[in-house]
A and B are shown apart, each in its own frame.
Chain A
Amino acid sequence: MIRLDDVGYKKKGKHILEGVNAHVEAGDSICLFGPNGAGKSTLLKVMANLIKPTVGVRHFHPKEEKHPIGYIPQQVALFNNLTVKDHLRFYQKMTKKHSTNYIEEMKLKLGLNEILSKRVDQLSGGMMRKVNLAVGLLHEPEIVFLDEAFVGVDLAAKHDMLKWLNQLNERGVTVVFVTHDWHVINQLAKKMWILEDGRITDQVKMSEINHLSSQKIAEGTALSKMFALRMQ
């Protein structure tokens, strides 16, 4: 679905990404993992086409041309004085999305029906994150990019959000996300790309992580070792 060929990104003379070669299949669920400043958010934005790579090529082949991408930013990207209902209608209008069944199901699964008439600035942090997720998914995208979308979310809200994302993934929606939350990785990721200094140092399947041989762990980078040990 997305292929990155030798992608690099440079800002103010500094290499944020360098020589990234990777491939995202339809229906994948990939976690970008790495320390702060490794280039996870930048790679996510390059894949989402929010920024153009300075080197290399990004190939994207969606099934539908119209609005195939959903993006849930790190910040809560909502209008403060609007209600949840206003937000849903605003994004419906922007994306010209008229399928109400999907929206009704999403509202139900994320527990938004009780807060529809509440203004965003009256909501708890967890609820805001739910609305933030909902507006990014409103147009039934083929691929969703989530940048630290679970920060400050309580367990109950996290459970609803993960359940809904897993359901979408089972229906064929591709999910690519950045997080440091082990619980989210365990629940959602099928694959993991480990980044260090703007490069992908490891690409692992979650199903293989528990069966990694001690030799593989020893061969891997410090970060992948740490992660593998943590998972075991």
Chain B
Amino acid sequence: MRWVWKSMLFSKVTMVILLVLPILFLSLALPLFKSTVEDLQVPIMLVDSSEQTMVEELVDELEETEPFSLQVVNNLDLDVLARGEVEAIFEVTDDLETRILDGDTDELFTWYRHENSFADGLFKEHLASTLMEMIVKAESANLVMSQTDTFDWDEVFHYGQRYFEPDPIFQMDFQSFGEYGQEETHRQSEQSTAMYLLIIWTYCWLLMIYFTNYIYHWRGQQLFDRLSLYRYGRAKLYLYWIIVVLVIVFGFASVIGAILHSIDSQMVTWWQLMNELGPVLFISAVLILVSSLICRTRRGMLASTLSYLLGSVSVFWFISWGWLADNWFNYFFIPVWLL
């Protein structure tokens, strides 16, 4: 088989299609993607003139997950806001810790925003929810301390932490309902994953069409005629072809999947890629081989496989946009399996 592998892989055109085109595509697309990611970092300034320990804890919590670029300073400088360098400034009251301990939650922050500020409202919500956790813990500690002297306040305060993280004592299954009434479980994230899988499938489908060139070339050279004189000779060459093609497309899909995952860990995992795309790629390779056996001319094969590609991608999008109802015959188009 290694000779068939060598014969199919070591050609200039194949190398260009396999390596240069994806690298070119990624090198053009990545800076664009990265800049989009960077744009999502909303710049926020937090002013804490008394450098309080509780503010440090709060900042640690805030910076953990959300796409905010948080800058902590001691002095209020409204010019920064005027110049548009930050979306908003939140000034912390000097006695934050004392007031939280007392259960007094009025006007803990002063919120300065520019008239063009857009995403700072999100930070406000995030700040409020994070602060609320601390307040609830403090309230709980106050309540416990008023009933008993057995525990230390800090001990009770940090004990409350376990109710938020890291081992929640109960979990919630989040589900919502869309306009058609059907259940939409994390629908948006699934659709974006399906879209990435569709792009990878499309490229792999085109790759497989390219590799049928070898079948037509060998057929034109009467190579199959020669091999048919040997035991399973013709079948072996077709088998080698499909193995080589599967190795190439699976390898290609793995690399692209790894790159996408390294860019955004939420995007698609290698396992998810193989689990969802693997069977689809396998069936696709078999379909392409069968079409090259049925269509005796290269032109006929190109027309049928490219039409199928166009039809499949269209059906995929129509279903995604809700323009096409879920019907059994949609599954004749393999990419629909990714949805």
Contacts and interface: CB of A to CB of B under 8 A. Distances in A.
B225 A73 contact: yes
A77 B6 CA distance: 16
Contact of A81 (B10, B226, B231, B233): B10
B226 A77 contact: yes
A71 B226 contact: yes
A95 B221 contact: no
B interface secondary structure, majority: helix
Given A79-B3, A81-B11, A90-B3, A67 B221 contact: no
B6 A86 contact: yes
Given A78-B221, A94-B233, A94-B236, A73 B7 contact: no
A94 B7 contact: no
A101 interface: no
Given A73-B221, A75-B222, A81 B6 contact: yes
A46 interface: no
Interface of A: 45, 48-50, 66-67, 69-82, 86-87, 89-90, 94-95, 135-136, 139
A99 to B, nearest CB: 16
B229 A67 contact: yes
B187 to A, nearest CB: 47
A135 B226 CA distance: 10
A2 B221 CA distance: 26
A120 to B, nearest CB: 9
Contacts of A75: 220-222
Nearest to A91: B230
Given A73-B221, A74-B222, A81 B7 contact: yes
Interface string B209-253: 000000000101111011111110100100000000000000000
Given A73-B221, A75-B220, A77-B221, A82 B7 contact: yes
B226 A73 contact: yes
A76 B225 CA distance: 12
Contact of B228 (A50, A135, A136): A50
A94 B6 contact: no
Nearest to A89: B3
A90 B227 CA distance: 11
Given A79-B223, A82-B6, 15 more contacts: A48-B229, A49-B229, A69-B229, A73-B223, A77-B222, A77-B225, A78-B221, A78-B223, A79-B3, A81-B7, A86-B3, A86-B6, A89-B3, A94-B236, A135-B226
A94 B230 contact: yes
A94 B227 contact: yes
Nearest to B222: A73
Contact of A71 (B10, B225, B236): B225
Nearest to B214: A79
10 smallest beta-carbon distances between A and B, as pairs: A73-B222, A79-B7, A77-B223, A90-B3, A75-B221, A77-B221, A81-B10, A81-B7, A77-B226, A75-B222
Contacts of B10: 81
Q: Among the interface residues B220, B223, B227, B230, which one has the most CB atoms of the partner chain A within 10 A?
A: B230
Contacts of A70: 229
A12 to B, nearest CB: 12
A48 B3 CA distance: 26
A76 B4 CA distance: 17
